[in-house]
Amino acid sequence: MDTIIGLEIHLQLKTESKMFCSCSSQYFEKEPNTLTCPKCLGLPGALPVPNKHALELCILMGLATNCTIAKHIKFDRKHYFYPDLPKGYQISQYDEPLCNNGTVNIKLPDGSTSTVLIERIHQEEDVAKTFHLKDGTTGADYTLVDYNKSGVPLIEIVTKPCIKSAQEAKLYATKIRQIARYLGISDADMEKGQMRCEPNISIQETGKWQMVDNKIKPIGDYKLNPKTEVKNIGSISAVEKAIEYEVKRMTDDLQAGKKLTQQTRGWNAEKGITEFQRSKESAEDYRYFREPDIPIINVSDQDIANISTKLVELPDAKAERYKNDFGLQDYDIEVLTASRDIAEYFEKAFDLSGDAKSTANWITGIIFSHLNKNGIEINDVSIKPEDLAILTKSVNTKAITTNKAKEILLNCLSNDKSVDISSEIEKAQSSAVSDDGALLNMVKQALSENEKAVTDYKSGKTAVIGFLVGAVMKLSKGNADPNKVKDLLEKELGK
Amino acid sequence: MKFDKELLEHVAHLSKIKLTDKEIEEFTPQMQSILDSAGKIAQVDTSSVKMGYSQTIDFSELREDIVKPSLSNQEALANAPFTQAGYIQVWGATFGSEES
Ligand SMILES: [Zn+2]
C-alpha cells in the first residue's frame, strides 16, 4: 500500500487590522465581540476593503516558497451556512489564487532532501469563534459566538498530493512554520490556532495508480480509494500522529472488507484517535462565485519588487552559507538555523569574535541545554551575543582556559540578571595568577612522581613532555592552562 | 439540468433544513422549473463577447493596515435576539455535532 498525503496549512497573518475592515486583528484574550464592525459582523450593505499589508505578506510567503505571483488578485465568495460565518459566505480565492506552483525543500532523517510541491497559496479571512453548550435546566443545545476573530487575515497553503509519509508531512509543516516565522508574517503557533494543518490522506495499492499532472489516477480498472481530511490538529507532532492513525484505520478497514468513504474526521488528541465529523462537501456545494464588492486588483512588477525587499535570508540559504563559509557540521547548522532569533544571535556573536566554530559550539552545547532545561528562548538568556564574543576571544587569546570559560558561562547562565562578562573574566585571570604558586607545586609534584619521564626527557626524549603536561592537568582537575604548564615544566626541567 | 429528489435532499442538507415527504414531492418539480427558467441564460450566444473585468484598482491604492475603533460590545449585540455574557447566542443543535 502507498500512502498519499496532501497538506492544507492555514496561517493567520500578523497584521494590525483585519482583512476587509479596520477592526484590530489582535483578538487574543480580548473581551468577546469588542473588535467588530458592520463589515466583520456581516451586516447588510457593508463593503469589504482589502488590507494591503495582508496581501503583501501573502505574496512574501509566495516568494519565499518559489511561487509564481498572479498579476491580478480576484476574490470569490465561498458559501456555507454556519454561525461562525455571519455573511453566509467566506471571502476567499477559488480559481485564481494569488500564488501558484511553489516548492519547499525538506531534509529527511537519512540526510536526503525531498521537495514538496505547493499547488497554491491564497488569501482569505478567518471565521468567528464558537462554543457549543447545553442549557443547564432545559438541556437545549445552543452556541455562543464571538466575532472578534471574524475577518482576521488568513492564508491557505495547499500542497499537491506529493507527501509520502506522516513523518514527511510533519517535517513539511515544521518547515512552513519556520519560514513563516523567519519572514515574520505569522507567529504560527498551532496551540493558539495561528497555524492549522489539515492533511488529506488516501491509501492506494502499489502499482495500481499513477500521478498525472499532480493528480492521482488509477491504472487499468483499479478503483481509487477515497481520501479523508483530518481537522482539529493542535500541534506539529499531532500532524504525524493523526496521519499515522488514519493510515492504520483505513488499512484495517480495507483488510476487514469495509468500504472506505470520503469524509472529514477530527483529531482527538486526548484519545489519540480520529473521529467522524461529516461526509465531505464538494467544491460545487460551496457555490463559489466572484466577490462583486471587491474590484480586481492589479499587481505590477514594481509592486512585487517592493515586496521582495522585505525578504530575509531563509533557513535553507543560511544553512548553505554556514556550511560553505564556516564549515559547520549538519547538526550544528540545524540547531543554529532553527529560528531566526537563534541564527541572529549566532551571527552577531560570530561577527564580534570572528570564530564561527567556537561560537557554534557554545550555543549548541551549553547555551542550548540551558534553554531546553528551563524552557526559555535564546533572547531570554542573560548572556548576550556580545558577552559570548568576549568569552570566545578570551579563550582564543589564552587569557582564560576553555574549562574556566565553561565555568563562567554556566555561572552566568544560572544568574537570571544581566552579567558583566569582562569582570568575570578578569576575576578568573587574577585568581589564575594568584594560583601560580599552586600550579608550580603541582608541576613539582608531577616531576617527583614521574622520575622515569624526567630521566627520559633529560636524555633527549623531549616528546615525553606531553605525558608530563597530562599529569599536571590531571592534578589541576583540568583547570590549568596546558601551555602555561608546559612552560613551567620546561623551566623546571631545564634547571 | 435534471433536478431530482436526491438533489433536493442534498440542497436541503446544505441549507440545514428538514423537508417532509410531502414537501419533497411539491418542491422537486418547482425547483426543476426554476432551473429550466434560469437555464435559458445559457442559451444566449456570447461567443463574440470578450471576457473582461469591469473595474480594477492598483495594488498601491489598497487600504493601509491601520486600526480604527470598533463597535462597543453593546452596539455589536444590539440587534441580537439572544445574548449571553457578551456573546451572541444561537439556539439549536443544527450547528453543533451534526452527523457525528
Ligand atoms: Zn470589523
The single-letter DSSP state of residue A337 is: H
Provide CATH 1.10.10.410 ranges for chain A.
436-493
Per-residue pLDDT at A418 exceeds 70 = no
At residue A264, what are phi and psi to the nearest 5 degrees? -105, 130
Q: How far apart are CA A89 and CA A76, in angstroms?
A: 9
- Cβ-Cβ contacts under 8 Å for A38 (sequence gap 6 or more): A45, A46, B71
Task: Quick: pLDDT tens for A64-93.
Answer: 999 999 999 999 999 988 889 999 999 999
pLDDT band at B100 (very low <50, low <70, confident <90, very high): very low
Angle at alpha carbon of residue A105, lines to A103 and A110, rounded to 5°: 150
8 A C-beta contact, residue A453 and residue A467: yes
Interface ipTM above 0.85:
no
SS3 A62: helix
The per-residue pLDDT for A434 is 53
Long-range CB pairs of A275-281, under 8 A, 24+ apart, other chains included: A275/B100, A276/B99, A276/B100, A277/A231, A277/B99, A277/B100, A278/B98, A278/B99, A278/B100, A279/B99, A280/A229, A281/A80, A281/B14
Tell me the C-alpha distance between B64 and B54, whole Å. Answer: 24
Q: Is A33 on the interface with B (CB under 8 A)?
A: yes
Which has the higher per-residue pLDDT, A76 or A405?
Answer: A76
Q: What is the mean predicted confidence (pLDDT) over A347-363?
A: 94
Q: Which residues contact B69 (CB under 8 A, 6 or more apart)?
A: none
H/E segment holding residue A8: strand A2-12
Rounded Cα–Cα distance for residues A33 and A43 (Å): 14
Averaged pLDDT of chain A: 92
For residue A435, name the pLDDT band (cuts at 50, 70, 90). Answer: low
The reply to whether residue B73 touches residue A37, judged by beta carbons under 8 angstroms, is no
Range in A37-46, A58-67, A199-208, A280-289 the model is least confident about: A280-289
What is the CA(A151)–ligand 1 centre distance, in A?
A: 7
Architecture of domain B5-42: Orthogonal Bundle (1.10)
In whole angstroms, what is the distance from residue A284 CA to residue A408 CA?
66
b/e per residue A116-136 (b: at least 16 CB within 10 A):
bebbbbbbbbbbbbbeeeeee
| Cβ count near A194 (within 10 Å) | 21
Mutating which of A36, A56, A267, A278 best tests the B interface, going by the most B Cβ atoms within 10 A?
Answer: A36
Instruction: Report how far residue A373's alpha carbon sits from residue A367's, in angstroms, rounded to the nearest whole number.
Output: 10
* A contact test, residue of B7, B88, B91, B97 with most A CBs within 10 A: B88
For CATH 1.10.20, the residue range(s) in chain B are 5-42
From CA A333, how far away is CA A107, in angstroms rounded?
Answer: 12
Q: Is residue A204 within 8 Å of residue A1, measured between CB atoms?
A: yes
Band of pLDDT at residue A424, cut at 50, 70 and 90: confident
pLDDT for A157: 98
Task: Report how far residue A403's alpha carbon sits from residue A409's, in angstroms, rounded to the nearest whole number.
Answer: 10
Confidence grade of residue A355 (pLDDT, cut at 50, 70, 90): very high
Contact B68 A32 (CB under 8 A): no
User: What would the DSSP string read from start to end of B24-69?
Assistant: HHHHHHHHHHHHHHHHGGGGS--TTSPP--S-EEEGGGSBP-----
User: DSSP label at A260?
Assistant: P
User: In angstroms, what is the span from residue A42 Cα to ligand 1's centroid?
Assistant: 9
The fold for domain A436-493 equals Arc Repressor Mutant, subunit A (1.10.10)
With both helix axes pointing from N to C terminus, report the angle between A301-308 and A52-64 in degrees, rounded to the nearest 10: 80
Quote the CA–CA distance of A142 and A83 in Å, as a whole number: 11
Contact (CB<8Å) B98/A279:
no
Could you say which residues from 263 to 302 on chain A have a Cβ atom under 8 Å away from some Cβ of chain B?
275-279, 281, 285, 295-300
